Structure 1
């Protein structure tokens, strides 16, 4: 009653070669998924754990998956999220209760997140796919919109290509486009959006960068009919190289979506900072996470769930680092008074006291040091809004101005 083994491949961070890193099997009766590092991988002396929190390099050890109905966290990271699953369900007539491992198998290795690939042979076999190029941006956006609206293909060839590479995460319609050695996620405006979400994401990521944080690069486009599309630079790829990544959900040891109440209790910025420390990220990354927590509070981004945070392995530094920030979108319907991750023990609410309560866990030596850092950060966030505000229509600009004024007062302790 055990499934045929799936072999997990890794593109080596040092030279780009593909190696077989381990084997995954699923007990079909109990849904107990097991992962075993390949003896050849261990014996070669490779030091790269594909998940330094949940899958440390231990020889001859069967790791049982505690979440996702028997799929290990790192493999779930390499699987499609809601959008990719929708494509696969339509293409393969899959029921809604399809096991997570089925999506892992059916998704193409060409467009997975991170540096893992999956196959049924012991030796790595990773096909390359020609991604749409930047001149196809308009056609790509129109095809994504047609899929989201369940309409027939606008371009049948492009539709087949999109259905064949459904591995990117998130719930919104998206696809990868290539421009030289860079890969970009393309996200169009959807008819169900209550505001210009691509514009909001573009402005928020630009704003965070101007305020001194490491946010993903974006480019906004206005296509035919004034449709807005944002493209966001992928940090896990460059040229033919893929970089190891791990989600915040995996670092925190929680399922997302579908976490139990006990797992939600572990959703925490301070805990995530400590997990970054545990896997070797430097103190500046812990403080950067603190800054992102503050920025999310100021702009009202309460979609800061565990899968919207990540770490990336930097080959040049031989260590894990906090990835660039991504999926930072202010709530366009209401001003949140709490975040999705705890800001201190047991507290999700946005307040100065809550943000400073566990500040030492982000690497600050004292609460006073953290308070001074917070105040300087609020000045930078407030002073840089004017550099992006002109891109917004009056309604969105007024909304963010009001939110900025209120939340800066809250986090300054004046409200």
Structure 2
């Protein structure tokens, strides 16, 4: 049996005991049965809020979870890294196959994961590591490439990467750093890249801002012989010494494995839990149009999330915006009734699900987003997108743009 205390850290250095997770030993088929209960002190504090406003209501009852593969509610699994960071966690702690399930990984995060939750197996509050500074970027990039290559490497040659790279989500190489008093997610090139993904993501984020989309600030920086994209973390404010609680749309929608959902499903979540639904619906509609424009087909549910500062729930800024680097053509999420690239008519029909009732207003929002394509060449050039990538994605986006104008 595994017992974990869940801590909420909205104010750095002042953790609050939010509740307790209990996960039974695996059943004969390997399934895990878990439970969560809010701490009485949290319930009576007057400042507590539901960690998952849909699946974990703020009440004294024991809250069971029916996720036998994980054994914990999805909001807690959101704290864990995905492929890249999880591989590093396994390597760093030399975890055998039977010791890699979510309840076993949570206490290894200490107090440094994404969002505001941390976990401990005792009453002792998880301690934070010394943050990695921005001056170590080139060394982090070198260690990331070394780890990704699969070349046998002593652990001592990966120490910096273990410290900074085993916490963030996603499948690509990245690390958490601090630079000039700001917390950043540093995103590196991968040896498996067929395009300059770092430059393309930098360009996509810049185009998104030109479209009126709320995104974190980004900086493209040299990193030894390579470059890295720094994305400001919206879950951690070092100046104010605060964190925000984060939960993915995947967790809020309660889906597992393969799913066939769309932007309308996320709009329904916004209407249900957002403190400012009209604003957040418009934000999501803009992002849907932008994803259709640039061919961001990697629009899965973990690339959208809500955050809570203890007072209100809001749709997060847009992140992980890239053109169709996987040449998938189909989106993960449906736009209208299909995952194929939409046309103008589809976007107009979708608008009503986002609170946009007049076609003239829908066209205004759509055209504002599409106008960012006027800056495509300038932005690609300023971000150092290689000529071959520039030509390939300019043609692809032009085809999508024509479809969205017709």
The answer as to whether partners of 1:269 and 1:343 remain within 8 angstroms in 2 is yes
Question: Which among 395, 398, 405 is matched to residue 391 of structure 2?
Answer: 398
Alignment correspondent of 1:176? 176
Q: CA deviation at 1:349?
A: 2.0
Secondary structure of the structure 2 residue equivalent to 1:167: coil
Distance in 2 (CA, whole Å) between partners of 1:387 and 1:296 is: 19
Q: CA deviation at 1:338?
A: 2.7
Question: Which among 369, 374, 377 is matched to residue 366 of structure 2?
Answer: 374
Q: CA deviation at 1:337?
A: 3.7
Change (3 A) 1:333 1:175: closer
Establish whether residue 86 from structure 1 lines up as the match of residue 87 from structure 2. Answer: yes
Distance in 2 (CA, whole Å) between partners of 1:280 and 1:229 is: 33
Alignment correspondent of 1:27? 24
Change (3 A) 1:32 1:191: same
The answer as to whether partners of 1:215 and 1:324 remain within 8 angstroms in 2 is yes
Distance in 2 (CA, whole Å) between partners of 1:102 and 1:360 is: 44
Secondary structure of the structure 1 residue equivalent to 2:97: coil
Alignment correspondent of 1:228? 227
Change (3 A) 1:116 1:94: same
Change (3 A) 1:301 1:195: same
Question: Which among 297, 301, 308 is matched to residue 303 of structure 2?
Answer: 308
Q: CA deviation at 1:306?
A: 0.6
Establish whether residue 289 from structure 1 lines up as the match of residue 284 from structure 2. Answer: yes
Alignment correspondent of 2:111? 109
Alignment correspondent of 2:404? 411
Secondary structure of the structure 2 residue equivalent to 1:118: strand
Distance in 1 (CA, whole Å) between partners of 2:252 and 2:51 is: 12
Alignment correspondent of 1:268? 262
Secondary structure of the structure 2 residue equivalent to 1:48: coil
Change (3 A) 1:272 1:331: same
Distance in 2 (CA, whole Å) between partners of 1:356 and 1:101 is: 44
Secondary structure of the structure 2 residue equivalent to 1:109: coil
The answer as to whether partners of 1:39 and 1:60 remain within 8 angstroms in 2 is no
Q: CA deviation at 1:385?
A: 2.0
Mapping 1:12-411, distance limit 5 Å = 12=10, 17-28=14-25, 29=27, 30-66=31-67, 68-91=69-92, 92-95=94-97, 98-110=100-112, 112-122=113-123, 125-151=125-151, 156=156, 159-164=158-163, 166-225=166-225, 227-239=226-238, 240-255=241-256, 259-260=257-258, 264-265=259-260, 267-282=261-276, 283-314=278-309, 318-332=311-325, 334=327, 336-344=328-336, 346-351=337-342, 352-379=344-371, 381-390=372-381, 391-411=384-404
For residues 97-137 of structure 1, what are the alpha-carbon distances to aligned partners after superposition, in whole Å with 9 as ceiling and x for unaligned?
83222222323322x11000001124x50212111111111
The 4+ residue runs of structure 1 with deviation greater than 6 A are none
Distance in 2 (CA, whole Å) between partners of 1:366 and 1:97 is: 55
The answer as to whether partners of 2:5 and 2:19 remain within 8 angstroms in 1 is yes
Q: CA deviation at 1:204?
A: 0.7
Change (3 A) 1:252 1:67: farther
**TM-score of the aligned structures, taking structure 2 as reference length:** 0.90
Distance in 1 (CA, whole Å) between partners of 2:134 and 2:360 is: 48
For residues 64-94 of structure 1, what are the alpha-carbon distances to aligned partners after superposition, in whole Å with 9 as ceiling and x for unaligned?
2447532211111111211121112223232
Q: CA deviation at 1:298?
A: 1.1
Q: CA deviation at 1:373?
A: 2.4
Secondary structure of the structure 2 residue equivalent to 1:177: strand
Distance in 1 (CA, whole Å) between partners of 2:228 and 2:10 is: 34
Change (3 A) 1:389 1:162: closer
Q: CA deviation at 1:333?
A: 5.1
Q: CA deviation at 1:354?
A: 2.7
**TM-score of the aligned structures, taking structure 1 as reference length:** 0.88
Q: CA deviation at 1:366?
A: 3.4
Unaligned runs of 5+ in 1: none
The answer as to whether partners of 2:32 and 2:69 remain within 8 angstroms in 1 is no
The answer as to whether partners of 2:186 and 2:228 remain within 8 angstroms in 1 is yes
The answer as to whether partners of 1:107 and 1:164 remain within 8 angstroms in 2 is no
Distance in 2 (CA, whole Å) between partners of 1:47 and 1:69 is: 25
